[in-house]
Amino acid sequence: MHCIQEVKKDILWVGGSDRRLALFENMFPLEAGVSYNAYIIKDEKTILMDTVDPAIFGQFLQNVEAALGGRSLDYLLISHMEPDHGGAVLEMLQHYPGLTVVGSKKAHQLFCQFFPEKADAPFLEVGEGDTLSLGKRSLQFISAPMVHWPEVLFSYMPEEKILFSADAFGTFGALSGNLFADEMDFDDQFLSEARRYYANIVGKFGPSVQGVLKKAGALEIEMLCPLHGPIWRKELGYILSKYDLWSRYAPEAKGVAIFYASMYGHTESAVSALAAKLGDAGVADIRMVDVSKTHPSYCVALAWKYSNLVLAAPTYNMGLYYPMNTLLHELAALNLQNRKVSLIANHSWASAAMKVMTEKVSSMKNVEILGEPLDILSSLTDPAPLDAMAKAIADSLR
């Protein structure tokens, strides 16, 4: 059975949600699924704006057929060739053999790599500044390389003031009947997942996001249609300002995320004492996260949110305890910047964790090591050695 919703007259959402998928990109846990948005625009010409992950192709095809209402499909735009959006292009070419695929030159190259058996399919290459007329409406293309792959195109429809924004402004989480962000409690339902999506999927490419935000700033936009999650038609400044902060690697909140690893509780005991001292000093927003039990993607999202981080972990096999090593590797790979970081290590006979953490943190741009790093010898019996670090963190937040 089809399941479509109207975005505007003759512009229909034909995407779908996958609530069964456990891992996005087979890596990031999904607690509430994910939506793959796609849109049919019916004008003198018809165009399908992207496809979906092949996992929900059956639903998607019914949606497209219902939305077209017996009309043929003239164009299929590939905004983004990653298979969560471009994975069903081959099937659409089989169902609609007369259609012309539209995308950037790089999208054409990727299309031929993913679907070599259809490399001769009609493909209209478009780029920055090109316009595709659909009749009364048109699409102006905006190059958005590395948001999140190099082939990405945004499309602006001036007649309706809609920006089709590919992965940008998207989020993890299935849609549940409310297509528009203003129809729901977005902060409660989606904000933390939008942040986790941004930081882990697009976070590495902040300068590219800044570049395309500047281009978007020159447009009159009344609606943002991303490829994941709800559509924005009210208070666009809310999500635009989040993207501006996230892509400048600017903290979203003054507060402390304490990422700790503790094999037998001694390191945890130290960070618990530190957290209590911070609370006593008036620090209002403190999060303690056990990196051994928490998928790194959630830690990355919190690192994107908070101004101050504390990293606490033991030495292990003459190196850094593995889950903390993984987290630091990811934060560096994603180019996290502009944070204040305090360090606590623990060892019983040979110290290595502090050296590794210091080196990794020092390699990050504009990251300040705050307070005197503390390398514990097995356990702390007196919390006094944490006083100076707690004071330095609390002072930095005033």
Per the structure block, which two tokens stand in for 7? 């975005």
> For residues 110 and 258, which CB has a smaller minimum distance to ligand FEO in the complex?
110
d(C-alpha 15, C-alpha 60), whole Å: 6
Q: Which stretch binds ligand FEO (CB under 6 A): 54-62, 80-88, 154-162, 241-249?
A: 80-88
In this chain, which residue has its C-beta nearest to ligand FEO? Answer: 82
Looking at residue 316, its amino acid is: Y
Residue 228 near ligand FEO by CB under 6 A = yes
Other beta carbons less than 10 A from residue 98's beta carbon: 9
Closest distance of CB 109 from ligand FEO, Å: 16
Q: Which is nearer to ligand FEO, 134 or 231 (CB)?
A: 231
Radius of gyration of the chain (CA): 24
Q: Which residues does residue 337 pair with via DSSP β-bridges, in sequence order?
A: none
Q: How far is the CB of 397 from ligand FEO (least distance, A)?
A: 35
Cβ 273 to ligand FEO shortest distance, Å: 42
Please select the residue that binds ligand FEO; options are 80, 106, 196, 339, rule is CB under 6 A: 80
Is 76 exposed, middle or buried (CB count within 10 Å of its CB: 0-12, 13-18, 19+)? buried
Tell how strand 131-133 and strand 138-143 pair up. antiparallel
* 42 lines the binding site for ligand FEO (CB under 6 A): no
Among 148, 196, 305, 339, binds ligand FEO (CB under 6 A): 148
Q: For ligand FEO, how many residues bind (rule: CB under 6 A)?
A: 8
Residue 16 CB, shortest distance to ligand FEO, in Å, is 14
In the complex with ligand FEO, the residue whose CB is nearer, 50 or 65, is 50
Q: Can you give the length of the chain in residues? A: 398
395 CB neighbour count, 10 Å cutoff: 11
What's the rounded Cα separation, in Å, for the pair 107 and 90?
Answer: 14
Per-residue x/- marks for ligand FEO, 152-191, CB under 6 A?
---------------x------------------------
Closest approach of Cβ 27 to ligand FEO, in Å? Answer: 13
Contact 93, 114 (CB under 8 A): no
Distance, CA of 291 to CA of 173 (rounded, Å): 23
Q: For ligand FEO, what does the binding mask look like between residues 105 and 144, x meaning CB under 6 A?
A: ----------------------------------------
Q: How far apart are the first and last CA of the chain?
A: 56
